[in-house]
Amino acid sequence: MGKTISFRAYITIFIACLTASILFGMLYRYDNKYNTYAQISQDGTVILPDIKKESEGITWLVQGWDICPDRIIYPGNSAEVWKSIYIGQYFSFAGFHEDGSPYGVGTYRLKIRGNSNYTMLIPEVFSACVVYVNGEQTASSGSVSPYKPYVKDLVFSFAINGEAEILIQTANYSHYYSGVTYPPAIGSSEAVNRLITIRMLFYGLLAFTSLALALFAAVIWCGTKKGMTSGENFWLGILGLSFSLRLCYPFIHMMGISGGNLAYTLENTMASLGLFCIVRTVSLICLKKDSLPERVLKGITGGFVLISLVFSLWMTKYLPGFVPVYGQILYWYKAMIALAMTILLILQFMKRKSGQILLLLTGLLVYSLSLIFHTLCLGNFEPAYTGWFEEWGAYILILFFAARMALRNMEIIRENRRLNEHLQEEIEHKTESLSKLLEERRMLLSGFAHDLKTPITSITTFTRLVELDNTHLDEESRHYLDIIRRKTKEIQEQLNTINEFTQIDSTPPAFEPLDLCRLLRDFYSGNKPDVNVSGISFELLLKDNQPVIIYGDKRKLVSVLQNLVFNAVSFTPEGGNIRIFLKREQKFAVLRVEDNGIGISEEDIPYIFDRLFSNRANGKNRGMGLFIVKSIITEHAGTIKVASSLGKGTVFTIRLPLVQ
């Protein structure tokens, strides 16, 4: 079985890497500005296509450029020394400075020949520029002198008939990149607009799908904060969010942004944060919590997030010579992290042979391939319509991570469903067993109470006969007989209590919709004469005549009323009052039984619903009435409370849920 899984894993990884390599190869072949550049004549002039015949095409102005570093050249001034380059050969001015600083000024020149109306797109000129066509200023962003950065994609139109010269003055004192870094595009206005639209749609798709995955992971994380996959869901959410923020730079540059380095800061920091999330996810799967390797990886990757932020905001300004070095460090950092995480997942897969780990491993291998292609094609590839190799690789990695989390969560859901079904069966089995046991105990208790009635009755009878027939008993014997008679009576009262409770507990509830108003009116009319005989006024006060519908057992609720009302009769002197009130409060029916009797002491109130508690002075009652009342109210999903003061009376308040 292990060999089969390993073979399938090798095949899966091979197919995934082969597919990714084909994708990157197709991007290099068909989405590369360096494969569709304009032709150059022998005198170095770029020949533009006739857009009337080739209106569907875009030409990339890659070759034929001259640069004059550290000088601002104006139209008509040709006395300077120019250096021939192609766009993309230098990402900044650092290559022209001994100290490696990307800061300074420079002028780019291109001679073109054409005969049409053209639209030109110059993407992301860092950080200020002025564009001249045939000596006339055509477009600008920011200010070259005095320096004021404003990074923006420039789109402008012009007409030429024959030869023309494009002159671009640039300045940078704030950004990682400088000058004309990416090849401009030229063509018809329709073709340029289509290019911009496709590019924005591509980055929008990647950004919004990543954001959607982040929101999905956040929802799962909020629902499983204490679950096994809580940490993985959290880091997947942060990974998707960081990637979507990282891909905002095309939109920022299309709209334009002042400050020079803010878009780069966001992109650079979010890229480091994404690597941190990848490391945290892999560490949760492969490493023990708080182990030395786990802490080391957390410290390195977390520290690099701060380094990226500090470098982007501060070091590029105060240590410009460190900029090219930082670029190399950043690349090798990404490569080493990808390699380390790949090794960890390979070792973990060899232990567990898990398909979910295989998904993460495959995603990391694809990401590593994207870094390799980025290195191999450096200076010879720039995407025309879509994204860079690393952006594709990071997005594919996120998709693999999301697939792993989806499978993991589905597995947890299936396991929970299976456990719930098993738990329900177990509960039903235990409930049935417990019900049978309780029923057997109730029957035993009832039979025991019934069987004791006969000998107790006999004891009472013979005790009475002895008292009546043996008149010559001495006083001590009569005292003993009196004790026997009293204790026998206590046993009879206990047996009566047991019978009463057993009868109430064993009777299955007959719940049905009930109108409390009607039930109270029937109870009031049926029991008013009995209460009045005691010289006590009995009143029923209903707030209105609208039905108050609850779901309950009529017989048991009548038993509750009987216990409360006739308890009140026992503790209310002649001339007193007993009142029943009923009203609605939100989703509950509120029933109050109130008297102005002798009341209950403060120390007795916490115990009045306890079994066998009684505060009657004569000891005739064994304290089961209020215990049974509370049991019935609890069975009806209600509550009962008591408020009382000595000498002022008692109020019992019952809340029962209304039928919605």
For 336-389, the pLDDT digits (tens) are: 998 999 898 888 888 877 777 888 889 999 999 999 998 888 878 999 999 999
Using left for φ > 0, alpha for ψ between -120 and 50, and beta otherwise, residue 256 falls in left
In this prediction, residue 254 carries a pLDDT of: 84
Examine the domain organization and report whether 515 and 496 are in the same domain.
no
Examine the domain organization and report whether 70 and 142 are in the same domain.
yes
Residues in the chain: 660
CATH number of the domain where residue 548 is located: 3.30.565.10
Secondary structure E strands in 39-144: 39-40, 46-47, 58-60, 65-69, 83-85, 104-122, 128-133, 136-141
For residue 446, name the pLDDT band (cuts at 50, 70, 90). low
Residue 170 lies in a domain: yes
In this prediction, residue 206 carries a pLDDT of: 94
Domain count, the chain: 3
- Report which DSSP code applies to 151: E
For 477-518, the pLDDT digits (tens) are: 777 777 777 777 767 766 666 666 666 555 566 788 999 999
- Is this model's pTM higher than 0.75 or not? no
Question: What SS3 state is found at 581?
Answer: strand
Higher pLDDT, 609 or 337: 337
For residue 31, name the pLDDT band (cuts at 50, 70, 90). very high
In this prediction, residue 619 carries a pLDDT of: 47
Torsion sign over Cα 90, 309, 125, 384: positive
Per-residue CA distances from 353 to 5, 8, 361, 409, 652 (Å): 7, 10, 12, 18, 66
Contacts (Cβ under 8 Å, ≥6 apart) of 388? 374, 382
The answer to whether 31 and 386 are in contact (CB under 8 A) is yes
Residue at 624: amino acid letter: M
Weakest-pLDDT range from 133-137, 158-162, 396-400, 447-451: 447-451
Examine the domain organization and report whether 649 and 632 are in the same domain.
yes
Examine the domain organization and report whether 500 and 538 are in the same domain.
no
Question: What SS3 state is found at 646?
Answer: coil
In this prediction, residue 469 carries a pLDDT of: 66
In this prediction, residue 1 carries a pLDDT of: 44
The answer to whether 345 and 286 are in contact (CB under 8 A) is yes
Per-residue CA distances from 598 to 568, 573, 617, 627, 648 (Å): 9, 8, 12, 21, 6
Burial class (CB in 10 A: 0-12, 13-18, 19+), 22: exposed
The yes-or-no verdict on residue 439 having pLDDT over 50 is yes
Burial 333-358 (b: 16+ CB within 10 A, else e): bbeebbebbbebbbebbeeebbebbb
Place of tokens 């939109």: 251
Place of tokens 């340029």: 192
For 635-645, the pLDDT digits (tens) are: 888 999 999 88
For 88-109, the pLDDT digits (tens) are: 888 889 889 888 888 999 999 9
What is the mean pLDDT of the segment spanning 545-569? 88
- Domain final residue pick, 187, 214, 245: 187
Quote the CA–CA distance of 157 and 175 in Å, as a whole number.
27
Output the CA angle 452-455-458, nearest 5 degrees. 140
Examine the domain organization and report whether 529 and 591 are in the same domain.
yes
Domain residues for 486?
A: 433-504
Output the CA angle 29-245-343, nearest 5 degrees. 65
Using left for φ > 0, alpha for ψ between -120 and 50, and beta otherwise, residue 649 falls in left
Residue 530 lies in a domain: yes
- Domain final residue pick, 187, 214, 231: 187
Examine the domain organization and report whether 492 and 562 are in the same domain.
no
- Domain final residue pick, 476, 504, 532: 504
Examine the domain organization and report whether 470 and 538 are in the same domain.
no
Examine the domain organization and report whether 528 and 485 are in the same domain.
no
The answer to whether 98 and 163 are in contact (CB under 8 A) is no
CATH number of the domain where residue 107 is located: 2.60.120.260
What is the mean pLDDT of the segment spanning 188-194? 90
Beta-sheet pairing, 46-47 with 104-122: parallel
| Cis-peptide, bond into residue 127, ω within 30° of zero | yes
In this prediction, residue 394 carries a pLDDT of: 93
For 101-140, the pLDDT digits (tens) are: 889 999 999 999 988 889 999 998 888 999 999 999 999 9
Residue 333 lies in a domain: no
CATH number of the domain where residue 455 is located: 1.10.287
Residue 590 lies in a domain: yes
Examine the domain organization and report whether 538 and 611 are in the same domain.
yes
**Helices 262-286 and 230-246: crossing angle, nearest 10°?**
160
Considering the chain, what is the average pLDDT of its residues?
A: 84
Residue 159 lies in a domain: yes
